[in-house]
Structure 1
C-alpha cells in the first residue's frame, strides 16, 4: 500500500509540475497611458438601431466611469434608439465622443440618424467628430456618390470633422470618397484578412503607410483595429492561420499601441467591452472587447502576459485528479504500474474538468448555446466514466495480478480433492426447447447421456410446439436413453422460457440439490459435472457458471467473426467480474444450488432474460458465485445476422428490464451485495447499455448540429466536447485490441472481425434501451439456430445505413465548406466519421452475409488460384487431365498462404 500511495503522490507531483512547466507567459511592450479611443456599443441583445435595447442610463454612466480610466474618447455607431444619452454621460466622465450615423437601406431611418447626429454634435461640446455610415461601401449598402452626398450634408451642418468608416481598401479604391471627408477613418482588422497575430501589427502599419502615401497631407486614422480573444481560427490561400485567443489579443494590442506611439498614428481600438449578443459575426463576434462583459480587464497592460486564473484552474485539475485517484487505494493489492495508469487517467480527467471550467468562465452563452453545451457535457460525463472503467480494466489485465477466483483446471482439481469423500449431490439438468431441430437436440441429449457423473437426471421440456414432428422424435429418444431422461411436452405455457423452466422444476427429483441449465443446442463434455459440482461442497456457493462456446464458426466468415465477438465477453469481462463475485449469469452451462434458487424465488417471467435476473437475485442474497473460462460444452451460433441482432436486442432489452427491477436493491441496506459487486454491475450496465445508447444519441445530436456549425459559424469547443469523444473512441479501440490479444485465443483477422461485429449492434442495443424506457414487456424472441431459418430478403442494416450515410455526408459538408481551414471543423468532421463506424459495421456485415466472400469456399478457391498465378502451384486444367489424375497438392509456401487466409 505504501508503494501505491507513493505512486499517487508522484503522479500528483508530476501533474503539478506540468502545470508549472506549461504556464504560458509572453512579453509585450508595456502600455501605461490612456488609449486614444475605443469603440463603445451599449446595446444589449441586438445592435439594430431603434431597437430600444440600449442599456439603462445607470449602466452607461457606470461604463463611462470605467472607460475614463482606460481611454480618452469613445466611438459610437448610431445616434438614435436611446444612443442620444451617451454623449452627455460621457462628458460627465471627461470622455470625448466620435458620433456614429448608422446608414442602411431605409431612407426614413437614415434621415433620423443624420438629424440626430447633427443635433447631438451641436448640443455636446465633447463631440469631436462624426462618422457617417459604417462599412456601407464594403457591404454595398450605399453607392459611393450617395454616401458622399450624405457626408456633405452633415459637414455643412456641424463644426466637427466628418468622415465615414470603411476598410482600408475601400479608401484606396475610391479616392473621390477620400476627397470629400475631413479625415480618412480606415478599418484595419488583420484577423478578417487571414493574417497571423505575429503579422497583425505589421499589416496595420503597412496599410497606414499605404494610405499616408496615397493621400499625402490627409489626416489618416485607423478607426478600427483589434483582435478577438475567443472564436475560430481562419486560413485561406496559404495565409494565416489567424487564431483568436486571450494571449494573442493582449500581445497584438500592446504591440500595436507601441508601434502607433512610435510613428504618431491615430487609432481607435475595437472594442471597449465584449458584446455577447454579436453571434451574427460568427464565433468571434462577442469577443473583441479589451474588457469582458463584466467590465473586467481581460489582460494586464504592463508586465508579462499571463492568465490570471491559471493557478485556480491548476488547483481544480489537481483536486479533481486526487479525488478520482482515491478509489485506487481500495483496490486489492494493485501493482505499481496498475496504480500509475489509473492515477494518470484520474489526473487526465481532472485536466479536462479544469478546461471545462476555463471555457465556461470566458465564454458567453445565449439560451440555445447554454442548453447545447450543458447537454453535451451531461452526455460526456457517463462517456468519460465508461472510458475510465475501460482503462481500469486494461490496467488490471495488462499490469495487475492474475485472476485469483477463476476456476482453472488446477483449481478444479483442488476443489475435487478438497470435497468430502463420496460428495456427489444429485444434479437435475433442464433442457428447455421450442421448435428446435430434432437432430440438433438428439446430439444435445446424447452428450448428456455420456456425462462422467453418477448421480444426475435430465428433464427435457418442449413448450408451445404443437407439431409432433418436433417433439415426438425427442420423446422417443429420451425413452431410448433410459430412466435418467424425463420428457415433458407442455402446451400453452405462459411466461416464455421461464414458464417452461418452472414446469421443469415441478418434475425435478425431490432429492436433486443442484439444477443445471443448458440450451437445446449445447453438446457438453463428459467432465462438466464431475469438474464443477465439487465447488458446491462449500455451502456458501450458490452458482457456478461455465462459458458458452460454439462449434459451427466454420459455416461462414460471418459466423467466424460472430464467434470471436462472443469469446471476448466470456474470456475478458466475465473473468474480471468474477474477481468481485459479480458475474452475469447467462443460463446455459450454468449450475445453481436448488436452495439458492428457492430463496431467490425461482424463475421469473417479468424479464425476458430470466437467467441473468435469477443470477442477480441469488447474489443479492449473499451467495457466492464462481466462474470458469474452461469450455465444457459448445452450442450453435445464430443462423443469420438477423438472428444475431435479435438475440442482442433481447439481451439488451432484458438487461434494461433488470436495471428497472433491481436498482432499488443497490441502495444501502436493501440487499447483501457488496460495494464492489454494486460497482461492477453498475459499470457493466453503463459500459454496455449506456455506451451504445450514448453513442447513438451523440451521433444524432451531432448530425443536427452540422448545419449550425457549417453555415452559422457557431464554434464547437474542441477541448471539452469533440476531443474527449475522439479520446473515448481511442480508449474503446485500445480496450478491445489489448484485451483480446491478452485474453482471447483468436487469430488477428478474427479479432478484427469480432470488433466489427461488436460495433455493428450499437443501433440494435440503443433501440432496445429506448423500447425499455417506453414499454414494460416485449415477447421473448427465440434465436434461430441449427439451420431452421433462412436469410431474410430484407436488408438487415437499413437504418444503420441511413444514419451512417448521413454522418459521412455531414463530415463531407463540414470539410468541403470549411474554406477558412478552421481546425475545429476538421476535428468535428473526424468525430462524425468515427461515429459512423458502428453503423457502417452493421452495413458491412449485412452485405457480407449476402456476398460470395462470406463463404470459406470462396477464400479457399481464391487461395488456390492465387497460388497458381504466382507459380506456387501448377495450374490444374481438368480438360487436359488423364484418367485418374488429381490436381497437385499445394506447395509448402502455398499452404502457408492458405492457412493465413
Structure 2
C-alpha cells in the first residue's frame, strides 16, 4: 500500500471521522448511459457476490433513449434483491456527474463510504473488506484499487492515477465527498476536478497496486478518442483553475509531493500543446517567407526551438494522438466548454499543409540553401504525428475489414 505524503490533516477533524470497529455501510454507485445489458449484468453480478455485510448499490441511468437497455438493468436489479436500487432519470444535466450527484443524494443516511464504478467492471469479492479498513485513518478521503485486464488476451490496463480517481476502483469518505460539493457537472472531467478539490481540502489518498477488479482497457473502447479528449481538456481546465494558488502562490494546502505529481500529470499534455503551437508557428513563418518577407523571420534562433518543440512529446507519449491531445490541452487551458473531439480532420489538414509548405519552400527558396533545407526538414519532422495517425487509422480499418461479421442477439 502506497500513501501520498502525510500531513496533519486529522488535527482539525472531529473524532467522528474515525470509522467504528464494525463494518461501516458502503453505498456503491453505478451510473449508466446506453450501456450494453451484458456489461451491466456482469458488473451487478460481481457486486452481488461481494463479501461485505453492510452494502447498498444504486444504479442510475441517464440519457438512454432505448427502453430495452435500461429496462434490462432495472429487471436485473429487482432480481438481485432490495440492496440494489435502480433509477431511470432520462435526460439530466451533467451526464455522469449529474447521475453521481443524484446517487449521492439518494444514498442511505448511515452510508459512511461511497464507491463509484463503471459498466463492465468486475470486482473481486474481497474488494471492500480489503479497502474499507484503511479508512480508520481519519485524514484519508479516498482509496483506489487498480484494475486488471478483463480477458487474458487484452492489453494490460494502465494503473489508475494515485491522486485522481481515473480508471480505477475509487472509494470515497462520504463526508469528504459532500464537503467537496459533490461532482462538478460543469467539468469536462469531473474525476480530475474532484481529486484536486479533495487535495486542496486537506484529504489524503491511498492507492492499492494489487488489482481489486477487472475491466476492459480504456484505450480498447470504441469511444476512447472522445473520452481521452474530455479527460485531457477537463484535467487541464481543473489544473488551470488551481495553478495560481497551487504553483504561483505556494498554497500550503498541498504538499510538495502532490505539486510534483500534478505537474507530472499535466506535463505530457502541455508538451503536446506546445508542439501543436510550434506547428502553427512554423506554418506562419513559412507563409510569411513565401510572401517575400523572409528577412523578417529569424531563421537561426527559430529552427532549433521549433525542432525541440516538435520532438519533445514523441519519446514519452503516443505520437498518433499528439496533436489531438494538444488541441484538448489548449481547450482546457483556454476555458473551452465543448468536449467533442473533431475526429481526425485537423490532423489530416495539418499534415497536408506541412508537406505542401515543405515543397513550396524548396521550390521558392526564400532563404539560402542551408536555411531552406532546414525549414523543409523541420516541416517534415513536424508532420510525424499526422503521418503516424494516418498509418494507425489505416491499420485499424484493415483490422475491421478482416474481422468477421456477427449478428448481435438481444438478451
Q: TM-score normalised by the shorter chain: which range applies?
A: 0.7 to 0.9
SS of 1:851's equivalent in the other structure is helix
Please, which of 843, 868, 874 is the counterpart of residue 390 of structure 2?
A: 843
Equivalent residue, structure 2, for 1:723 = 304
Q: Measure the CA separation in 1 of the matches of 2:283 and 2:90.
A: 49
Do the aligned residues in 1 keep the contact of 2:282 with 2:306 (CA within 8 Å)?
no
Equivalent residue, structure 1, for 2:408 = none
Matches within 5 A, 1:279-358: none
Does 2:142 correspond to 1:543?
yes
TM-score, with length taken from structure 1: 0.39
* Cα pair distance change 1:626/1:834, threshold 3 Å: farther
Q: Measure the CA separation in 1 of the matches of 2:137 and 2:146.
A: 21
Choose between structure 1 and 2 for higher RCO, CA contacts under 8 A separated by at least 6 residues. Answer: 2
* Cα pair distance change 1:810/1:492, threshold 3 Å: closer
Q: Deviations over 1:176-231 (max 9, x none)?
A: xxxxxxxxxxxxxxxxxxxxxxxxxxxxxxxxxxxxxxxxxxxxxxxxxxxxxxxx
Equivalent residue, structure 1, for 2:28 = 429
Q: Measure the CA separation in 1 of the matches of 2:96 and 2:271.
A: 29
Equivalent residue, structure 1, for 2:46 = 447
RMSD (CA atoms): 3.6
Q: Measure the CA separation in 2 of the matches of 1:512 and 1:536.
A: 13
Q: Deviations over 1:21-74 (max 9, x none)?
A: xxxxxxxxxxxxxxxxxxxxxxxxxxxxxxxxxxxxxxxxxxxxxxxxxxxxxx
TM-score, with length taken from structure 2: 0.80
Please, which of 115, 120, 125 is the counterpart of residue 516 of structure 1?
A: 115
SS of 1:584's equivalent in the other structure is coil
Q: Deviations over 1:414-441 (max 9, x none)?
A: xxxxx99955332211100012111110
Equivalent residue, structure 1, for 2:225 = 645
Q: Deviations over 1:675-700 (max 9, x none)?
A: 44234324532x14422222112102
Q: Which structure 1 residue ranges, 5 or more long, are not aligned?
A: 1-402, 407-418, 555-559, 737-754, 784-794, 858-901
Does 2:157 correspond to 1:610?
no
Please, which of 241, 255, 258 is the counterpart of residue 674 of structure 1?
A: 255
Equivalent residue, structure 2, for 1:584 = 164
Q: Which structure 2 residue ranges, 5 or more long, are not aligned?
A: 5-17, 405-411
* Cα pair distance change 1:529/1:831, threshold 3 Å: farther
How far does residue 542 in structure 1 lie from its aligned partner after superposition?
Answer: 0.7
* Cα pair distance change 1:708/1:671, threshold 3 Å: same
Does 2:344 correspond to 1:764?
no
Matches within 5 A, 1:453-852: 453-551=52-150, 563=155, 567=158, 570=159, 574=161, 578=162, 583-586=163-166, 588-636=168-216, 643-666=223-246, 668=249, 672-682=253-263, 684-685=265-266, 687-709=267-289, 714=295, 716-718=298-300, 720-727=301-308, 732-734=313-315, 736=316, 758-772=318-332, 777-778=337-338, 796-815=343-362, 822-852=369-399
What is the number of residues matched between the two proteins? Answer: 388
How far does residue 501 in structure 1 lie from its aligned partner after superposition?
Answer: 1.1
* Cα pair distance change 1:732/1:820, threshold 3 Å: closer
Q: Measure the CA separation in 2 of the matches of 1:669 and 1:821.
A: 49
Do the aligned residues in 2 keep the contact of 1:435 with 1:465 (CA within 8 Å)?
yes
Q: Measure the CA separation in 2 of the matches of 1:444 and 1:688.
A: 33
The structure having more radius of gyration, on CA atoms, is 1
Do the aligned residues in 2 keep the contact of 1:641 with 1:849 (CA within 8 Å)?
no
SS of 2:52's equivalent in the other structure is coil
Q: Measure the CA separation in 2 of the matches of 1:820 and 1:704.
A: 15
Q: Measure the CA separation in 2 of the matches of 1:683 and 1:639.
A: 20
* Cα pair distance change 1:698/1:549, threshold 3 Å: farther
SS of 1:489's equivalent in the other structure is strand
Q: Measure the CA separation in 1 of the matches of 2:45 and 2:376.
A: 57
Q: Compare the two structures and name the one with the higher strand fraction.
A: 2
Q: Measure the CA separation in 2 of the matches of 1:684 and 1:625.
A: 16
Q: Measure the CA separation in 2 of the matches of 1:839 and 1:552.
A: 32
* Cα pair distance change 1:473/1:699, threshold 3 Å: same
Q: Measure the CA separation in 1 of the matches of 2:65 and 2:356.
A: 51
* Cα pair distance change 1:828/1:484, threshold 3 Å: same
